[in-house]
Structure 1
Amino acid sequence: MQMHECLENWLDWLAHEKRARPNTVQAYRTDVTATLSFLTDHLGQEPDLDAFSALRTADFRAWLAYDAGRAEGRRGTPDGRARSRARRVSALRSFMQYLTTSHGINASALRQLKAPRARKRLPRPLSRDVACTAPVEIASLANDPLCAARDEALFTLLYGAGLRIGEALALNVRDYDRSAESGLRVMGKGGKERIVPLLPSVMKALSMWRAQHPCPLPESPLFVGLRGKRLQPAVARRVMQVWREQSGLDNSATPHALRHSFATHLLEGGADLRAIQELLGHASLSTTQNYTLADEKHLLAVWQAHPRARK
């Protein structure tokens, strides 16, 4: 079997069995296709399963060196390019694991390959005051009352419940209608569902938007654009970008920063790390622990500002 057939089978398995997001499937397709293209040139022909199983660590190192050379010509910071290369190694390892399970190939050579390491990026939350006033200030920039109510509800939800922008925009009216009973049901990464409790301020903003919703049928999107279709993430990001520029904030003030702010401010208030993990829908506690690192960095900066810290 040729590798392009295996690739399509793997991507289909990712999409339907693992329920990976379409963006993830597309990114893996791009990464592994580029790797197979290199290996075809490297070996002189497209590898089949036997040839792929016979690859040595030296072959994968040659691919990594080739990829690093191409990366030098790409835009972005060295750290960003290292993260991209690490992602491509991760994609290839995932593909190899699938081949090992489904076709019994030997993946030991790839396991010996060390992926590039990039510095861990810590969350960059907004301050409490900025995060609390952001929804109202963003809504004030809207051209009509309908968009204003929608934007205030959306950004209040992002900060008040810690949702990802994609999770919020995937909600339907029925999801909000059911939330009064047991909390908001949110479909997260990998098709994992979680229940998120809603604060009174969040419920109030959503209720005001629900009352003005142009098409409040249960199956309708909860957040819609001017044409009544589901609001796109790019539109929400652009709305926040306008507010960010007018407020003099840096580029880290994005919809996702509101999620970071939700977690960071809970942690600062003494919330349990496991509870924050559940609220955010993180599969691993290590991901949630990044917020403790960010908090320690903030405390260190405060400590170093003390007059005695310079002596």
Structure 2
Amino acid sequence: MSDLQHSEDIVQLNSQIQEQKLLFDSLREELSGAIIGQKYMIDRLLIGLLGNGHVLLEGVPGLAKTLAIKSLAEALDGAFSRIQFTPDLLPADVIGTQIYNMHSHEFSVKRGPVFANFVLADEINRAPSKVQSALLEAMQERQVTIGEETMQLPDPFLVLATQNPIDQEGTYQLPEAQSDRFMLKCKIDYPSFQEEREVMRMVSQGTQRMVRKVVSLDAIRHSRELVKKVYLDEKIEKYILDMVFATRTPSVYNLSELENFISFGASPRASINLAIAARATAFLNGRGFVIPEDVKSVAKDVLRHRIGLSFEAEAEEVSAEEVIDRVLSKIQAP
């Protein structure tokens, strides 16, 4: 392909992206009216939606995590279900089970709440690992097997999960295999003084806004196809791979001081999801090509749950975010 043809394709793609971006701007505005002061959380939910990736939100109770996910589902024309994870939850409560019919003497499948476009897994780390792992096949393969029957999940299918910090009472650590299947893990912080004042007034006066449906499922599918076409230069690809490989072999990238802090580096899903998230970020910014800032803006959300910290890191209170900061400062952007 000639440089001229390539440039023309990008111009045409930019035009299509600008048109679709208006839809997502209206979606962002609709969500911002119901969720005060959580722009970062809203943007990450939209990146997950565009990248067809599951999103994990971590924060103390009361930060509107559940409200944000519920509002997103209400603003989209799709089926929504909520699963409240508790210590006595069973795998069958999530994916469904087989029921014996005494009249026909046959087993039939009763589908669980996972059969929806948008599944809210609320406080996912309050249930034991066997329940959390019941979601594994659904999250990765977009299908569920009950008995001998395998059923496809609807398209789009997105798991939007919330969890409390693992040092809180009654929480379990997510299995690494499941945690790795979340495209993004976002840490949600407290709102500012002014934002919390606005929330307090809105709720106490009963003036919360109802969320309207503003984007169809067809528009989401179309936008996802455009995101796949966003141009990712080879230099940006190398930047992403260097970032991921630096978490596995720090000494190769002159980061020997991190070797004792990392027990295992990011998996190949990290580089895949970093590329997808960067493309989705470029799309939301109205561009048909990725720039290094797109990669940097989502690096922590993609990597923080994929880096295993050693006992020495925990003893010295070195967090995954600090490790990523050091990697970002050392790897030279193109």
Instruction: Indicate the TM-score class for this superposition, using the shorter chain for normalisation.
Output: under 0.3
TM norm structure 1: 0.23
Asked which structure has the greater RCO (Cα within 8 Å, sep 6+), the reply is 2
> Which structure shows the higher strand fraction?
2
> Which structure shows the higher helix fraction?
1
